Structure formats: structure tokens, C-alpha cells
Structure 1
């Protein structure tokens, strides 16, 4: 085994731990959102991203930007948007200045559901992090997540 092999192994172990933490958090939040609000994590994330749009230049996201924001393919995002539109939680419309552009807005019902679900999401996130912090392999990652400062650019050594 070379020094590089050890570094790759450590990197792989770190990645596996990060993936495990993400999976546990997402599953915990998914169960809470489904049980209390009939929302999946992806649906919640999409409503959250779209709720931050505003009128004016650069205020609305195109579907490809939405897909990037919720980390889904464009086709999966389109299906997700369609499901939420069918439920009356959002609507789509053609951009006034570029007829090829399609925008999506959260409806009043969608905003109300998002507001009701936000405390559930936050509590489930806190619970999942607290549980993960008890695992020695995941505790450093939980600490890193808890110490991220909003707006701070990540640094790389």
C-alpha cells in the first residue's frame, strides 16, 4: 500500500460517512414531512426554493435552474412540478420577455403548506443531527454542518 492509497482510503471513508449522514438525515425528514404534511423532502425543497423567487430581473428561476437547485434531472423536476401543480401548490406560466422560458410560482396554498411544514422540517433535521452526533464516525461531520456560517464561502485546504 502506498501513501496515496492511504489518502484515497481516508477520502473514501470520509465520503462514505458524509453519504451516510445525508441519507439518515433525509430519511428522518422524509418520514416527518410525509406523516405530518403529505410532502416528500424533494417536494418541500422545491416549494422552499421557489418561495424565495421575486418579481423583477433575475427574480424567477428557469426550469433548469430549479432542477439544479433541488439536485434533480430536468425531467424529474418537470414531473415533480407537475405533481405539485396538480395538487394546486404551484403554477407555471410563460415568461413575458422570452416565450421559450417557463416560470413556476408557489400558490397561496403552497406557501401555507410550506409555512406549516417548515417547523416539522427543522425539528426533524435537529433530531437527525442529534442522533448522528452520538455516532463517533458522524460526529465530526455534524459539528462541521452545525458550524457552517450562512453566506460564508467554503474553503478548501
Structure 2
């Protein structure tokens, strides 16, 4: 393959479209969450991931797993957890079976803020997707996402 290979060009254009769509969605959600709830997209994502933990085998995530889930480095995740802990939205504790492990739980205040912010996040996501769906380069990606969000993969 050469740099002018049509397959590579199409792949690069697809990647650019996906990156553009992601950036627009994230920026739109960021503005909505900041304005309505004082949360960044990353803070919301972290609270959301941690709120889904459960008791039992594999129910609580280690910091590396949390970092992977929110697509941040471990050090960035630790700083984010510290900021949310300082705001009273999270708490950390030592793993009862491995004293080297540190787990994080969402506090009652964090759960309340997350539930308050969830409709804002969902509305902003839908708005961003609807806006992108009107653009010829982004519409196919939006259609794929819409199909993925419906059970069985069929758009409504």
C-alpha cells in the first residue's frame, strides 16, 4: 500500500470523522454538565463507572480497571479521584483481602449528583448526535451508534 492508496485514504477519512464526532459530542456534553451540575465529562464518567460496582466477586474495581474504563492514565485517574474525594463525592478504602489494593466508592452525595446529572448527559448526547446526523460525513457514524443503542441492533 502507498500513501495514496484509496483504502488508506478512506480509512484515514473515517478515522477523522470518528474523531470529529467524538470531539463534538464530548464538548457539547462538557458544556451541559458544567453549566448544570459543575461536573466535567471525565468526572461524570468516573462517577458513572464507580456507581456500577457491586458487592461480591469482581464487584469493586481496582484503580487500573477504573482508569481503563474512563480512558485515562492511572495517574490522571488518581488525580481525578482525589478531586472528587475532596468534594465529598467519593471515598477510598483499602481492599480487605489485599492491603496494597485501594478501592473507591461513590458517596451518597456523589450518587445524588450523578442521578441529577444523568438526564443532562443523556439529553446533551442526543442533541450532539442529532446535530451530527445532519452532516453527510458524520451521519453514517450516527446511524451506526443509533443501531447499536437498540436491542438487536435494529434502528427504530
TM-score normalised over the length of structure 2: 0.93
1:32 lines up with 2:26 in the alignment: no
RMSD across aligned positions (CA): 1.9
1:149 is displaced (CA, Å) by: 4.7
Q: What does residue range 9-28 of structure 1 map to in structure 2 within 5 Å? A: 9-28=9-28
Which residue of the partner structure matches residue 88 of structure 2? 88
Cα gap change, 1:151 to 1:58, in 2 (>3 Å): farther
1:3 is displaced (CA, Å) by: 9.8
Q: Deviations over 1:49-75 (max 9, x none)?
A: 000001111100000000000000000
Cα gap change, 1:79 to 1:3, in 2 (>3 Å): closer
1:4 is displaced (CA, Å) by: 7.3
Matched positions, count: 153
Distance 1:92 1:2 in 2: 52
Following superposition, which runs of at least 4 residues in structure 1 exceed 4 angstroms of deviation?
A: 1-4, 149-152
Instruction: Provide structure 2 residue ranges, at least 5 long, that are not aligned to the other structure.
Output: none
1:2 is displaced (CA, Å) by: 5.8
Q: What does residue range 54-133 of structure 1 map to in structure 2 within 5 Å? A: 54-133=54-133
TM-score normalised over the length of structure 1: 0.93
Distance 2:53 2:150 in 1: 18
Instruction: Provide structure 1 residue ranges, at least 5 long, that are not aligned to the other structure.
Output: 153-157
Secondary structure of the residue that 2:5 maps to in structure 1?
Answer: helix
Secondary structure of the residue that 1:146 maps to in structure 2?
Answer: helix
